[in-house]
Structure 1
Amino acid sequence: MDMWTRKIIAASLTTPVYSFLLACWVVIPQYPDSGGIADTVNGLLMLTATYLSVSFPAIVTYGVLTSVFSDWVARRMSMRFEPLVSFGLHIGFGLVLLWLGAGAAVLYWMIDRYLSHKDCRFETRQAWSSLIIPVGVVVAAFGIVYLGGVMQDVMHRL
């Protein structure tokens, strides 16, 4: 059960990071043309929350299942090739969604390997608790954008 909990925790950590990186890749090149730093930050937060909302179910279901399968296949190979086979299978399964999936798969693989090499023992309760991380990021991002809009409206009315 420890492997499953590690995989779920890796998915919970991968999703916000990947969503933020993807939002940066879209928003930051447009910064000079935008309305300023506030619009850029709002765009980053909104896109991060949107990408996270869309990618989280896919990474937690498809990503965890294919990662478990990839590691199962890799363990049957020579210890020398195990990380390479696992990495290749992660990318292969990620390519179902083209470069978007491959990017998420690489980040997921890196976080999962890090957790594996740290040799942390995770309990089922920790895995369930880790699912709060992506939900909290979405709520925080939308909340910050909303409060920023409220503050902007108050300042505009003064």
Structure 2
Amino acid sequence: MLSRKIISASVSGSLFAILLGLVMPDPFGEQVVENYFYSASTMVNVYMMYSFPVILLYGVLTSIIGDKIAEFMSKKSGSKNIEIIVSGILHIVFGLVLLPYSLGASILFFVTDRLLQKQRKNYQWLQAFKSLVIPLTIWIISLAIVWLFG
């Protein structure tokens, strides 16, 4: 389960930084964004630098806690649907820390994790370690864009 959660964090953390960079290329609203692509690339770096470690540590930990609680409640009630609902609710509750950013990240993490879980593969530690290349690659590409066009 932990290796799947790390893979989920790698994918959802990268997607979160990209989406937030595209939606908010100038988060402080100080200037009109003249070069949208450059500003978005710059902000992807910033968002990745600050959000990915939090998603990796806090997101994985709270997701495991939420899934264990949901699994326990599902066994007690005898319904598999309860597990998905309770896990989703707990992801949302744990994601209420920094509205709306952490809420979006937690929902993205939940969806990514459920899609990986639906494949019913046994994810190995090597796969989890390799998945950390995804955010690193996104970060390097956006750094290169900023360096080339800056």
TM-score by length of structure 2 reads 0.88
State the distance in 2 between where 1:68 and 1:83 align: 13
Unaligned runs of 5+ in 2: 75-79
In structure 1, the partner of 2:19 is: 21
Matches within 5 A, 1:1-150: 3-27=1-25, 33-35=32-34, 39-78=35-74, 79-149=80-150
Q: CA deviation at 1:133?
A: 1.1
SS of equivalent residue, structure 2 residue 94? helix
State the distance in 1 between where 2:148 and 2:81 align: 52
Unaligned runs of 5+ in 1: 150-158
Q: CA deviation at 1:120?
A: 2.1
Larger proportion of helix: 1
Q: CA deviation at 1:66?
A: 0.3
Query: Structure 1, residues 29-67: CA drift from partner, whole Å, max 9, x if none?
Result: x8xx432xxx11011111111101100110110100000
Q: CA deviation at 1:80?
A: 2.3
State the distance in 2 between where 1:80 and 1:8 align: 24
Over the matched positions of the two proteins, sequence identity in percent amounts to 37
AA partner of residue 101 (structure 1): S
- Whether the 8 Å contact between 2:8 and 2:113 is mirrored in structure 1 is yes
Q: RMSD of the alignment, in Å? A: 1.7
Q: CA deviation at 1:20?
A: 1.3
In structure 2, the partner of 1:153 is: none
Query: Structure 1, residues 102-140: CA drift from partner, whole Å, max 9, x if none?
Result: 110000000000000011221101111111211111111
How many residues align? The count is 142
State the distance in 1 between where 2:137 and 2:24 align: 22
State the distance in 2 between where 1:138 and 1:80 align: 37
State the distance in 1 between where 2:81 and 2:143 align: 45
Q: CA deviation at 1:148?
A: 2.1
AA partner of residue 47 (structure 2): Y
Moved over 2 A (4+): none
State the distance in 1 between where 2:104 and 2:18 align: 12
Q: CA deviation at 1:14?
A: 0.5
In structure 1, the partner of 2:77 is: none
State the distance in 1 between where 2:23 and 2:37 align: 13
